[in-house]
Structure 1
C-alpha cells in the first residue's frame, strides 16, 4: 500500500464546496501518474493495468458508476480532488489523521505494513540504531519519507529522496543506497523480480507510528460527497462478499491483501 503524504491545501476546500458528484455524471478517478507495481502499471501506449485498476473497475461496476481513469502527478493529487479536477482517488492512499483534516475516505480496501529492504551483503534491521550509518532511499511526498525524517534521520541515517519508488528500487539494486523503505506489498513485488532477487532481502518491519502511518488504504473523497461515499462503501462490501475481489486478487497475490 503506497502510504503517501500530500501537502494539505485547506484553503482549496472553500472553492469547491459545491463540487459534488451526481449519480449520472462521469466520475473521474485519480490515480498516481507514476508506476506503482503491482497496483498500477502503464504500458508504452499509456494503458494502465494492475491490481488497483482491477479494483477500480470492480467497484465502479458494482456501484453503477461511469468511471474515467485520470492519471495525476502524485504531489498534486489531493489538490486535484479538492479543486474538482477529479472526483475520487484510488491510489493506495493511506488513511492518515493529517489527510482526514482535508478529505474523507471510504472504508479500507487493502492494508500493508511499512518495511525496509536492503542489500543482501549487509546485515541490519529496520530500527533507527541499525540504520544510523546507512543511506536510506524514500519516495518524496510519502509517509515513508515523513517517517524516516522523524525516526531515522535524527539518529544519523542519510536520506536520499526519489520521485518514484521505481527509481529508489533501481538505485538500491545498483548499490547507490543501502536500503529503501516503502509498503511491504510493493517491495515484496520488487524482491520477487530478477533485479530484486539478485540484490536484496527484507530487513524488517518498521515500528508503528499512528500519527504518520496507517496500514489501511481507502478511496479518497471530498468531505461533502457523502452519497458517493455510501455507494462506494456498499460496493466494496459487495465485491468482498460475492467473490469478485477474491478473483482479481488471485491474479496478483497468493494471499488476501484485504
Structure 2
C-alpha cells in the first residue's frame, strides 16, 4: 500500500485556444534527465534507460502525441541560481533553451518558477527529518541538508522560526551535504539529523531496517514533483492535459509502485 501518496489530476476545459497553442514540430523534442538517479532514472548494464522517469515520459508523450529524445544533464544537478544570476543544472539548461522538457524528481519552488514553468504535478511529497532509530527526537543533534537543491531553498525561504533554527544550526556546523547518501551515512554514524525529501529518503530506511526513522509529527513542508518546460512554452498546457490523463487512468500510480516510489513511513 502506498501510504501518504497523492497523485494529481488537473482538470482543463478543452477549447480551441488550448488546441491552437499545442506544440508541433517536425523534429523530436529534447527531454533532459539525470543519470545515476535510481529509482527515477539510470542506465542498466546494457545501457538502456530504466526507472520511473523514462517510462513516465513515454506514457505522457504518447498521450500528448509528442516524439522526443532523452539527453543527460552533464553536471548531474537539479539547479540553483548562481552568483552571476544564471542557473546551473537541469533548470539552467531549460532556462537557456538547451532542452524542451526537463523530466526528473524535480520539486516546484518559488525560485524555479521565475525561470521555468511546470505542468500539472505527478506526486506530492513532504520534507521530513531523518533520525537514527535510537533517537527519540532531533533535540541535541546537528542538522545536515543537501546543498544547492530544493531542500536548501526551502530552509532559506521559510519564515517558520523552527525552520530558521535548523538553518542556523546547519550554517554554524557547516552541515552541507554533497549527496543524500552522504547524509544518510552521517545519520547512521550518530549525532546528526538530516532534512530531506521523504520519497528520496524512504529507500534508505528500507535498506537499513531498525537503524533509521522519520521524526514524529507532520512534515516540515509539502512539495510537488513535476516536469518542467521553458517559460511561455505551449508544451505546458499540452503536457498538463496529458499528465492529468495518465494520472487519472492509473498509469502514474502503477509506475510509481513498480519503482517503489512513494512508500511513505508515518511515525
Range of TM-score over shorter length: 0.7 to 0.9
1:221 match: 229
**Alpha-carbon offset, residue 177 of structure 1:** 5.8
2:13 match: none
2:167 match: 153
**Alpha-carbon offset, residue 223 of structure 1:** 1.0
User: Matches of 1:187 and 1:55 in 2, distance apart?
Assistant: 21
Confirm whether residue 90 of structure 1 aligns to residue 103 of structure 2.
yes
1:6 match: none
**Alpha-carbon offset, residue 44 of structure 1:** 4.7
Confirm whether residue 31 of structure 1 aligns to residue 33 of structure 2.
yes
2:10 match: none
- Superimposed CA distance per residue, residues 137-190 of structure 1 (whole angstroms, 9 cap, x where no aligned partner): 3222122223445441325773522232233223333x1662222111121122
User: Matches of 2:181 and 2:168 in 1, distance apart?
Assistant: 26
2:3 match: none
Aligned mate of 1:169, from 181, 184, 198:
184
Confirm whether residue 202 of structure 1 aligns to residue 214 of structure 2.
yes
1:14 match: none
1:36-55 pair list within 5 angstroms? 37-44=38-45, 46-55=47-56
The answer to whether the Cα contact below 8 Å between 2:202 and 2:263 also exists between their aligned partners in 1 is no
Change over 3 Å in CA distance of 1:180–1:59 after alignment to 2: same
User: Matches of 1:256 and 1:236 in 2, distance apart?
Assistant: 21
Task: Please say which of residues 248-257 and 49-58 is displaced more in the overlay.
Answer: 248-257
- Coordinate RMSD, CA, aligned: 2.8
- Mind listing any 5+ residue stretches in structure 1 that lack a counterpart? 1-19, 209-213
- Superimposed CA distance per residue, residues 106-146 of structure 1 (whole angstroms, 9 cap, x where no aligned partner): 01111100011111222214xxxx3xx42323222122223
**Alpha-carbon offset, residue 249 of structure 1:** 2.8
2:161 match: none
Query: TM-score, length-normalised on structure 1?
Result: 0.74
The answer to whether the Cα contact below 8 Å between 1:41 and 1:50 also exists between their aligned partners in 2 is yes
User: Matches of 2:243 and 2:230 in 1, distance apart?
Assistant: 18
User: Matches of 1:117 and 1:80 in 2, distance apart?
Assistant: 31
2:192 match: 178
Q: What number of residue pairs does the alignment pair up?
A: 222
User: Matches of 1:53 and 1:185 in 2, distance apart?
Assistant: 18
Task: Please say which of residues 144-153 and 182-191 is displaced more in the overlay.
Answer: 144-153
